[in-house]
């Protein structure tokens, strides 16, 4: 796989021209592509370095008037230089860096492995969403109520697939697969295991189940923004790094 070619394709098809999503509106405004709606997000822009401070300040002022938190996502190859300094000056808070990883599904299928009594289920109803929220909330130590409501509203829309791992009937891990219409990329999200049940193969099994569905549906590439805790596991499964990425948040 030519990482530079795939990264350029990802930028063109997923960032500069993102697929439509329920509850989101995309608006191009003076050098910035704004995503607003169920969450607020900036993932693409085009302005020179000399305008970075003014434009970042303008976007901060605009989004402070909105109720949702804004994330501005910066990749290691992004321009202009000085953008992250401008974000810091405008009171954006940097998050821990992650690695954008990609798997070429045509070249590297992930074979399921024994999971020591762990069962993977595809979520198809409201009780399954509740189990997803319970497992994910315990895995990441956060309230998943709002996210669960969004997931429940999209059951059956064809673009979202939720998976839960169970052990002895208890939800112990959860992961989300997001399709993107006719784009060649699908994204892995979530992938959390409750602390006391780690090391039983649940994380890998969730990745394998989602990769298998993506392959059946003709997706070419799987992407994931990986934390350092999951990056080595994913690389052993065949994922390759494309870029580092850091989210900057404005509350």
Structure tokens at 208: 């394998």
pLDDT tens column, 68-104 = 999 999 999 999 999 999 999 999 999 999 999 999 9
Rounded average pLDDT over 29-50: 97
Do 80 and 119 fall into the same domain? no
Structure tokens at 105: 């599904």
Residue 91: which H helix or E strand, with range? Answer: none
Closest CA to 46 of 29, 27, 60, 63: 29
Query: Which pTM does this prediction carry?
Result: 0.93
* Containing structural domain, residue 87: 3-98
Whether residue 71 lies inside any domain: the answer is: yes
Question: pLDDT class for 3, splitting at 50, 70, 90?
Answer: very high
**What integer pLDDT is reported at residue 106 of this predicted model?**
87
Do 92 and 111 fall into the same domain? no
Closest CA to 243 of 97, 107, 103: 97
Boundary-marking domain end, from 98, 124, 150: 98
Whether residue 129 lies inside any domain: the answer is: yes
């Amino acid at each position: 796989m030519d990482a530079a070619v795939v990264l350029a394709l990802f930028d063109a098809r997923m960032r500069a021209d993102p697929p439509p999503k329920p509850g989101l509106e995309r608006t191009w405004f003076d050098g910035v592509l704004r995503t607003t709606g169920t969450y607020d997000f900036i993932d693409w822009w085009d302005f020179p370095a000399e305008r970075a401070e003014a434009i970042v300040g303008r976007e901060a002022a605009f989004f402070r008037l909105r109720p949702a938190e804004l994330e501005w996502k910066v990749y290691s190859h992004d321009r202009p230089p000085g953008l992250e300094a401008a974000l810091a000056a405008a009171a954006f808070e940097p998050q821990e860096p992650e690695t954008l990883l990609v798997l070429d599904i045509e070249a590297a299928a992930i074979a399921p492995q024994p999971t020591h009594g762990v069962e993977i289920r595809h979520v198809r109803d409201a009780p399954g969403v509740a189990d997803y929220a319970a497992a994910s909330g315990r895995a990441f130590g956060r309230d998943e109520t709002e996210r669960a409501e969004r997931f429940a509203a999209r059951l059956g829309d064809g673009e979202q697939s939720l998976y839960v791992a169970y052990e002895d009937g208890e939800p112990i891990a959860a992961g989300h697969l997001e399709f993107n219409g006719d784009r060649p990329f699908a994204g892995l999200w979530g992938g959390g295991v409750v602390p006391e049940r780690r090391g039983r193969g649940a994380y890998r099994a969730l990745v394998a189940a989602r990769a298998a569905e993506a392959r059946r549906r003709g997706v070419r590439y799987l992407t994931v923004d990986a934390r350092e805790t999951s990056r080595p596991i994913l690389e052993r499964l065949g994922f390759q790094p494309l870029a580092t990425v850091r989210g900057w948040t404005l509350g």
